[in-house]
Each structure stands twice: as C-alpha cells, then as structure tokens.
Structure 1
C-alpha cells in the first residue's frame, strides 16, 4: 500500500505541475525574445545598407525574410496573450481521476500481488518458528502469482524446489512437470532435463509410486548417464522391485563415479544385498567391470526440426575399422547428451571394449533411425582414446550437418 500511495502522490504532483505551471508563459517569453531579435536584425540590415555594406538586392531579400518572421512571431504573441489557466475545480477533478486510474491500474496490471508475495516471504524469513499456515499461505500466493506468468521457468523451478524442501511432494510434482514442459519447448539442456527428471522421480518415490519413479530416474540417466542422484535411486528402486541385476549395475556405476578415494561402504552393502538375493535364486552375478567411456555428444541447433523417426547412434570401434565394438541407439531428445559405453553395449560375442588398447569414438544421427549410414545423415568427427592408460575416459563429439 505504501508503494501505491507514493505512486498516487507522484502522479498528483506531476499533473498539478502540468496544469498550474504556465508553460504558455515560458513560450511567450521565447516569442518576445524572438521578436526583439528580429527588430535588432532589421536595424542592423538598415545600417549596413546605408553604409554600402549590402547591395540593394541582398538588402531587400534579407529584410523581407526578417519582416515575415517578425509578423509570424507577432501573431503567435497575440494568441499566447489569450491563454487562461485551467480553473481549480477542473484541475481537482482531473487529479481525482488520475488517482482513481492509478489505483485501478495498480490492482489490475500493477505489482500488488508481487508486493504481497514479497511481504509474505519477508515475514517468513523473519519468523523464528514459521507456522505451517504461514508456509502454506506464502507458497499459495507465489503459485498464484506464477499462474499469471506461465512461462516463468525459473519461478516455477524455484517454487518446486521449495515444495520439495518442505516435503510437499504432491504439490511439487505438477510444478516440476510444468518446468519440464517449459524446458522442452524452449532452449533444451540435457543437464537441466536430467535434474528435473530426477526430482520428479524423487517426488514420485515419496508418494510410493516406485515403478513410475524408476521410469523417471532411468529417463534422467538417458540425458546424463553420470547423474549420481538418479543412479542411487535407480539402484534402490530396482532392488525393491526385484530387478537385482539392474540394481547391481546402477550401484556399480555409482561406485565407479565416486572414485577410489571415496568411502563406498554403503554402496558395497547395497551391492552385496542384491548379490545375496540373486544367490538365493541360484544366480552368481557380478556387474561388468570392464572399460567405460563417457561420451558427451552435441548436436546442431537444427536438431529440433528432425523427424520423429530420427535416432542418435554412438559407436566405439577399432581405430580405422568399420565394425563397431560397442554401440548405443538413443532417441534424439536434446541438443546435448551424455552416453556411457561399456561391454554391455557390445556388438555380438566378439565385441566389447575389454582388451582394446585404443578405440575410436564417433556419433551419427540417422533421419530414418537405421543402423546403416544414409546420405544426409549428420556425423561427428571421430576421436581416438587410449584405454591402456585410462579405462574410464571422457570425450566430446560435435555432430555436424553435411
């Protein structure tokens, strides 16, 4: 309300100045000054003519121009003298109308809702022990404000974060879905999509929708294969759903990302539980421990115009060879993708990365989604990596249009 009062006072002040200040008087002063200049100019021309400094033709031309300007300014001077200030009664009516219009604009198009939400956040921050009613009122007001700005991606993500932190997972889910939609209709980012998908998985897991949550975590890993939150939850949910092999693979990847210096005893315990569950079924299973290559693939900006049949293929093959050792086929759903190739992606029994000193990495976008290369496909320049020195390298590939 303070902001509104200041705005009205400012409007009244400037309208008052506009009405009561005699802008015509200042205009009259400038006209008077111009008339005086014209008269001085005529006198000067007369003197120059008498002294022979101007020939008769130039004298007549300059004199006629100056006299025309003098007559015009004299006419304007007469009109200005007829001006009368606006009566006070009309001025007051105009001031009241400006005040009413200011209030209406403030409520309809102004920032009254934003000011109220800001006030709620300030009160929430200053409270020693915020009540549940305060939290609910603040988030409800913020959500209502965002509904008037449906394209505010950062605002919706901020709201979803607060809802997640407060354990309001049911409310957070539609907020996160809104964020995901905005991400996919704008400038897409694989990292951001992976994060939002992981948060969605977490909200579904909190609502005990385990299969739906696992689907979201696995989708997040398609965008970022090294997303630790998604890997951890995917391992846990796979275990709870009885997919023990998958849980071992997820936790093994998470352990590998943690590095040799990290304390991985909790992860080892999870792996042991899944192995024990498989052992009860008479299955002796170990996660793949061979080489692992992380490939970051960037696509041209025109990727969003690709047909639905398009697919991204990422290959590892012997340097100079044509037969892939490992390959993954993925949907084209982002401009940047992170893909991990392991022996699990081997092409046939003779494939795989194990035993290879070097491999050549490349990527290709097929418009028809077929493994065979076709004219017009988008291809990345191959990159050779050394697996003898490092069995977990990371490479970047830029797919180019032909």
Structure 2
C-alpha cells in the first residue's frame, strides 16, 4: 500500500509541475518587465529635470545634450540582459494555481469512484503462499468481507471450510457463491454436499432437489454423482450406490487419481451384496496409497475416538498440506489413498510436485495442525505406485 501511494504522490508532483512552472516563469518575466518600466520612468523624470535646469539657465545646450546622453547610457545599462516576453494573460495567473490546488482532490475523488485499490490489496494479500490452512481461511474470509460479490472467493472459502470439516460454514459460503454466480451445476453439487455433512448425513428433499437440478444442468456433475453414491451407501442401498459411482467413474478422465477411491467404494458395496469385487484397471491405481499403523507402545496412550489426520505435503513448496484424509484411532491400521481429488486447493495438487512427505498425526482435540503423536515418512515420489508404510510412533512437538 505504501509503495502505491508513493508512486501516486510522484505522479501528482509531476502533474503539478506542469501547472506551476509556467506560473513561476510568468512571474519572473513580470518582474523583469516591472524593473524595465521603473527604469524608463526614472529616465523620463531625469530628462524632465535636465530640461527644467536648461530652461532656468543653469545648463547650456551642450550640458543638456551631455546629460541626456548620460541618462540614456544609464538606462541601457540597467535594462541590459532583460528579456521582455509577451505574457499570455488570457487565463490569468490565478486559474493555474486554483487548478493545482484542486488537482489532488479531483484525482482522489476520481480514484475513489473508478479506482481498484481493493483489488490491489487482495493481490498483495494472496501474493505469498499461506503457511497453514487457518491462514488461508483468514485470507479468504477477509476477501469475501472486502468484496462480497466475488463468487470465486466464496467458492474457495467453502472448499477450505470443507477441508476443515466445517460443513455448516461451507454450506453458507456455497449458497453465497450461488447467489452471486447463479445456479451453476458445480456450485449446486458442492452446496448439496456441504448440507449433507452439516445435517449429520441425513438425506432431505432439499438435497434431492439440489442434486436433481445439478444433474439436469450437467449429467456429468461429479460432486452430485459422488454424493448420491455416498448417501445410498449410508442408507444401505448398495445397488443404487454402485450405479451412481459407476456413472461417476464413466465421466472421469482415465488418468484421474480419484478413480481409485471410487472403485474402492464400488468394491465395498459389491461385498455387501455378496458380489465379487471388480478388477481395478491400472488407471484406477494412480495416487499415493499409504498404510497407517500405530506403534504398540502407544496403544495404551490413545483413545479410539482420537482423530487421525493423514496428509501429504510438498518437500519443496508451501508448508501447508496438499491433501488430507481423516480417520480415528479405532480405524487403525488402515490403508488410505491421497490424490489430486483430495487437494485442499485446486492450484496445489500432489501431481504438481516431484516429491512429497507423508505425515500422520493423532489429535484428541481434532486440530489438524497440532496433536499428541505423529509419524512421518522420508520424501517419496509423488507418482509412485508402491504402498507406503507410515508408523505413528513419536511425540508431536510441532505443527505442519
């Protein structure tokens, strides 16, 4: 902000110079003209004095002529070097001064009306990568406060809230995004998903209407298809869940790493129906798969309900996690998949970095950034297909 106002001040001084320099020059020329006029007046008075002395008989003709010559030489000496320039008096000297005084006020008023200082502030705010998800949330909250008409800011704020398991806040953010951008299928799907988790996974007529509207606008809307599959599975409607998830797999790109997680859901639904699991294609096996276990010496120090956060972060890049999954101690040991579909921010994906570090943290308070116990891996290639082993065996003394 300081740099902006310094640049604006320099531009203002430059503009004032164009107005004030001609005024100052005009004053200098005026002073020269005034001095010349005074010298001429003195010269004329001197001639009248010499003529008076001659008429009174005090000077003869020769002395009169010599006196006139002497007065003329003095006049020439006094006016030597003076340059008489015509002064443009059409506007007068006061108008440029008034304009110079009004210009800062006029410029400030016009900038307040048409300027984009808020955009400049937002650009500076997001210039540096946030170090934590809490910092990212604070930035987005400030962005929507400064510009409530930014659908993009509301959307990313909703995604960030979902990553923090703040589904109620996320539903409000997605609803605001829809109010600005319109009822876009993707936004409707995200809103429905947030409402579903905020409502303790209870399916409602509102959720059905939102997903129906989203799929009517875009039959390949992935969030709605995935949500319908989850809701059907939770309700024990395994055949319907398989149908929704198969539709989702059909519209996803072959290289999409989230296909593995979806295929895993389909396989679990088939097991519930007593059907054999389908073969997983190589394309569906993409993503980082990690097996998380708890060290034996920590078994008595944790509770089954303690939250377990498994995340991947870039070895060379922003310190905030790229992708996160949440389990409980009761789920351990467990295998989870971390892929681009789990990205906390669309522009920060696992595939965008050559190496990542895998971390698992146990937090009794449910805080993803601080806990009691932790386990971490050595740097691994982000495109590796080998199963990674992660053991939680150390006291947690720092945040990610």
* Bin of the TM-score, shorter chain as denominator length: 0.3 to 0.5
TM-score, normalized by length of structure 1?
A: 0.41
TM-score, normalized by length of structure 2?
A: 0.41
